[in-house]
Amino acid sequence: MTRSSPPAPAGTLMIRESPSTGGTLPGTLVAAADAELKRSLELLRAVAAGTIPHRRVVRVSTPPRIVAMSRRESRMPGFEDARRACIAHGFVPVIRHTGGRAVAYDETCVVFDVIVREAGGPMDQALFFRDVGDRLVAALRALGVDARLGEVPGEYCPGQFSVNARGAVKLIGTSQRAVRGARLLSGMLPLGPVDRFVQVLVAVNRALGLDWDPVTFGTLGHENPGLPRRAVEDALVAALDE
């Protein structure tokens, strides 16, 4: 189900989406996973083409159970073992269009996209990462979290502009993709228990021969228990507005 608000005065289109199905059959999960990844690209291309006239689109969604791996990982010798590990743990393995390392998420997480029009030519990638990262940090601090910008040593899918809690656990990772005329930044925030994510990523990274420290996988549910999902989504949407 999709609920879209009218364009904001500053030219931002806000979109909230939840899964079109709650099914658990393998074919249903694969279709939902494929649709989740395609949706971000559809919006990116629509902004670039002008089909969506807004200068900025902010989307928050409830994802299906996915382990999203990079194209680089798909070429590694252990990829087939990693793919089988995903399935064995109840996740759908997919190849994502942004990012460099495997990420696991499910319906207990919030996925967000920020898409901006690049009318004056390509923007600085690092500046965009930092701008969004600073906004996310401010939003989480307003929710009572000791949020900081920067990589935690040993974190999964490491990145300079990760959002962490207490300098100890990663809460949000972000990645980008650009086409001519528009840029997409995507991220994910876990809200509940992360044991299942840790277990599948341990198996996936072992198969790929990659190191990481499982204790660095954080969740908002630990940093500030009891926050309603809607309140978290509202905070992210407000922070990511133009």
Segment 167-214, tens digit of pLDDT: 999 999 999 999 999 999 999 999 999 999 999 999 999 999 999 999
Exposure of 38 by Cβ count < 10 A (0-12 exposed, 13-18 middle, 19+ buried)?
exposed
Residue 189: inside a domain: yes
Instruction: Give the Cα separation of 166 and 181 in Å (integer).
Output: 37
- pLDDT for residue 33: 75
Under the banding of pLDDT at 50, 70 and 90, the label for residue 22 is very low
Check whether 7 has a pLDDT greater than 60: no
- pLDDT for residue 21: 45
Left if phi > 0, otherwise alpha if psi is -120 to 50, otherwise beta: which for 7? beta
Instruction: Give the Cα separation of 30 and 48 in Å (integer).
Output: 28
Residue ranges making up the domain that contains 162? 10-240
Check whether 2 has a pLDDT greater than 70: no
**Closest-CA residue to 115 (of 34, 206, 39, 4):** 39
Total count of domains within the chain? 1
- pLDDT for residue 29: 66
Residue 184: inside a domain: yes
- pLDDT for residue 111: 95
Under the banding of pLDDT at 50, 70 and 90, the label for residue 19 is low
Residue 64: inside a domain: yes
Please give the average per-residue pLDDT across 9-32, as a whole number.
Answer: 67
Identity (one letter) of the amino acid at 17?
E
Left if phi > 0, otherwise alpha if psi is -120 to 50, otherwise beta: which for 77? alpha
Residue 5: inside a domain: no
Residue 214: inside a domain: yes
- CATH code at 206? 3.30.930.10
Instruction: Give the Cα separation of 93 and 42 in Å (integer).
Output: 20
Residue 1: inside a domain: no
The pTM assigned to this predicted structure is: 0.89
Check whether 6 has a pLDDT greater than 60: no
